[in-house]
């Protein structure tokens, strides 16, 4: 029987690349999304055309604990097992201190921390049964803040500490690690960023380029399959950006 991975925020961008990578490695892939059902369905159709019954879409709001619990139940009912949980779903937008609202606080904390924590809680037991792995997608700004994005940075710092705390609590049965991406893709609305601004960003990356989603996906696959003696680590995949933060 194939191993099973659940990827949150799997419809697009880094999440979709992780799905392709794990599917190519032989995993059955549970694709979580919230609003991007059409895109997730296209991805599932593509993967199922390569291997029938190997991908399924699950829609859920991760800020609702009941919905998180229901998601965990549905995923387990799908293939009857879970080997890897990848908490990739995330929100990112600026929150300057003077303008930040409670709604923004709740949205960022719920998306980047709360949902991931309670999904880990609800899936810990099936992961224990198969000596599974949890991978949390953090951020280099969990360690060094980005001006004007304080709530986002707080949420990702919490995500990083959650990774370490759960690594200790779930050992030895379950390994828990994190990945801290640097600049992998430009923001969704990159038309708002001039080429000059993009070049200024790249100048702060020692490798002098942005990354590719496959850089994150490859690290996730390594942590899930080949890193049997690694737990509690937050691995920067950022072209060296952390060296100057």
Q: Which residues participate in catalysis according to the annotation?
A: 152
Residue 113 and residue 142 in contact, taking contact as beta carbons nearer than 8 Å: no
Q: Residue 172, preceding bond cis, omega within 30 degrees? A: yes
| Integer Cα distance of 43 and 53 in angstroms | 13
Q: Which residue in 181, 167, 182, 169 sits closest to 227, CA to CA?
A: 167
Residue-by-residue DSSP string for the chain: ---EEEETT-SSHHHHHHHHHHHHTT-EEEEEESS-HHHHHHHHHHHHHHSTT-EEEEE--TT-HHHHHHHHHHHHHHHS---EEEE---------TTT--HHHHHHHHIIIIIHHHHHHHHHHHHHHHTT-EEEEE--GGGTS--TT-HHHHHHHHHHHHHHHHHHHHHTTT-EEEEEEE-S-S--TTGGGS-HHHHHHHHHTSTTSS---HHHHHHHHHHHHHT-TT--S-EEEESTTGGGG-
């Amino acid at each position: 029987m194939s191993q099973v991975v659940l990827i949150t925020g799997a419809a697009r961008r880094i999440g979709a690349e992780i799905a392709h990578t794990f599917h190519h490695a032989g995993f059955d892939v549970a694709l979580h999304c919230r609003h991007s059902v059409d895109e997730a369905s296209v991805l599932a159709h593509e993967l199922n055309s390569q291997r029938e019954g190997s991908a399924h879409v699950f829609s859920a709001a991760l800020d609702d604990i009941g919905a998180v619990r229901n998601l965990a139940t549905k995923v387990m009912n799908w293939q009857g097992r879970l080997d890897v949980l990848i908490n990739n779903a995330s929100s990112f937008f600026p929150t300057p201190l003077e303008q930040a609202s409670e709604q923004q606080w709740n949205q960022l904390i719920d998306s980047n921390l709360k949902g991931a924590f309670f999904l880990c809680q609800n899936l810990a037991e099936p992961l224990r049964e198969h000596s599974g792995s949890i991978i949390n997608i953090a951020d280099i700004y969990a360690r060094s803040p980005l001006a004007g994005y304080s709530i986002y940075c707080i949420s990702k710092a919490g995500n990083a500490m959650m990774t370490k705390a759960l690594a200790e609590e779930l050992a030895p049965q379950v390994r828990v690690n994190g990945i801290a991406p640097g600049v992998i893709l430009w923001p969704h609305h990159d038309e708002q960023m001039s080429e000059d601004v993009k070049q200024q960003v790249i100048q702060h990356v020692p490798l002098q380029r942005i990354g590719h989603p496959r850089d994150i996906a490859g690290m996730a696959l390594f942590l899930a399959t080949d890193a049997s003696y690694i737990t509690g680590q937050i691995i920067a995949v950022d072209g060296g950006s952390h060296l100057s933060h």
